[in-house]
Amino acid sequence: MSNLLTVSEAAKLLGVSTKTIRRWDTEGRIKSIRTEGGHRRFIITDLIGNKQDNSLTVAYARVSSHEQKDDLERQKIVLQAYCAKQGWSFEVISDLGSGLNYRKKGLIKLIKLICSDQVERLVLTHKDRLLRFGSDLIFTLCEIFATEVVIINRSEGSTFEEVLAPDVIEIITAFSARLYGSRNSKNKQIVKQLKEIADQLK
């Protein structure tokens, strides 16, 4: 059996997770043989043709407004450096828009890639860069399609108020913009007051 690969060895060769190898085997996308103990084993030559399948890492960056473009560039730099350091083949997808907007061009592209089984790994700087609310829906899709989720910065020390304040501001900003118009002085005053309240909560 020395000329055969284990599940973990096959995963390393193809650059995917062991979970993906098992799923591909179940779906018939790759061939395996079984040991007397029922363990999967793979012949190297059978795997070579699949080496580039499903090995894409997608790094996703987002900011809410044009005033945050510098932050968007910083996110991209961090994501690129992180992925390069890991030796991953990657693509960066970015959006400029509200975390409450589910119809952003980049987000839609990301979802399509995941659902077409092309993404091995999703990398974010922070969880809320994906969506303010609803990130878990995307993470569930990742789980279904065996896409690993890597969050570079997992903030553990924030208080409930610190986490909630930006979300509340974004929600009220979105609704007040619809009511009064984004350039209306009343809307600007509301946003200013909300930001002052948020600063007091920090």
Catalytic center residues: 64
Query: What is the full DSSP assignment across 34-63?
Result: E-TTS-EEEEHHHHGGGTTTT-EEEEEEEE
CB 159 within 8 A of CB 200: no
How far, rounded to the nearest angstrom, does the alpha carbon of residue 125 sit from its chain's CA centroid?
9
Nearest-CA neighbor of 120 among 48, 186, 52?
52
CB 12 within 8 A of CB 44: no
